[in-house]
Structure 1
Amino acid sequence: MSIAHLSTPLATSYTAASDPSTPSAQAPAADTAPALPQAHIRAVPEGTEARGFVLYVGIDEGKAEGDHTNLGSIVAQIKALVAQIAPSSETYAAVALAPRGAGGRDVDVVRLALQDPAALAKHRQTPDAPADRARDGVVIDLSRKRLLLDNEPANLTYKEFELLQYLVLREGRTIERTELISSLWNSSDEEIPNERTIDVHVRRLRSKLGDYEDIVRTVRGVGYRFDRHADVSVRQTSTPSPDLF
């Protein structure tokens, strides 16, 4: 087992599993090598060739448990699928670690921990940005009906904020789509969503949450749930809300 450290304190990674027993892939003859789908491959320097790929999976143990699985099982199933599709392939898995309660999107933590070049470039400070600038996180202000992302107001519609508030006030509970529809829409509304179109409303809300979209989590086959991270703050009204229980 090897441990890799990043220059940033946000995350580290350790090798979770490797499969040295898998036979090495044999290079096909030049005249029989299948053509690669160039439309889906980024330009690479001349004289190089593709030797594999990386799939970043962002999920912590708590979310995996909510999906009735665990990280070890996910890794094992992915490795088994790859072996079934391409028996000559080799696989190598690593798990990203971050300080407990660090917050942020799981997949971004994984990419930083495993030193993905694009993620590292995005993480570096721009020349004109203060070197000590820190992210301010999410503030869900229920008293003023507003959402702040890194201290900047998010332009949510009234219905989008209602949707977010409904989930926030029921933190830790998975809300079914039918409940969201019956609770947030009534017969006087011009457009009442069904179980399929409610996903569109959630998608629009998530797009406005930007880097913090994973605070609204999909529970497959059930509905949606609010996940509070360490960088999320909820400001309640001064008097109990009739929507709070």
Structure 2
Amino acid sequence: MSLAALDRTSPTPDPARAPAVPSSPDLPRSPAAPTPAAPGGARVRAVPEGTEARGFVLYVGLDEAKAAAAGIDLGRLVNELKRVTAELAPQSQTHAAVALAPAGAGGRDVDVVRLALQDPAALARYRRGPEPVEKPVEGVVIDISRKRVLLDGETAALTYKEFELLQYLVLREGKTIERAQLIAALWADAVEGEDVPNERTIDVHVRRLRSKLGGYEDIVRTVRGAGYRFDRHADVVIRYASTPSPDFF
């Protein structure tokens, strides 16, 4: 990819001759309308402390065919943008360049432009390469970081409360959890009038969870007369969150 200057198309028009353009909130403010000040007199701007904004870059993704279909060419479009800039900020200096890419190059137009013009964020993404495609895993994947369960690569349709119930057992792997403890932990914030289960109806919630686990339902074990326990099998993968779970135990 390379660059080709467009400034040769025509100089910046004389703002004194240019027709007036209606103001728009999407256009830069003129010197007569300064940047709003924050409390205390500090200017509101997204730049680090100790630096100052000296201009901006506007990436436009538009190939020649699309421009022609819109009834314009790239050179004219550049001149129009420069003219508007001169009208709103007569002291501004402009430079335009067109991004060139091999014919038939894939990708979004604006991304190609950013890469050709050496945009740091676009370069970093290009060097990093595409995001790895997650390969389906046979068996059960309990993804605590994303709050989901995969069964042979397919997402199980668990409700929020069903996932909470499973997560509570998973984080206490191998321990038998009494029904009363599950109710106290998972329905602690319930307000009066909500459907809070008792020790008998908690079995219904567990039964619904198991039904959605399909052939892997036995990872949630019933300990007769005591409660429930999570048993990990060889075909069970647990992906923990990168930060400690707030569900302490």
| TM-score normalised over the length of structure 1 | 0.44
| TM-score normalised over the length of structure 2 | 0.44
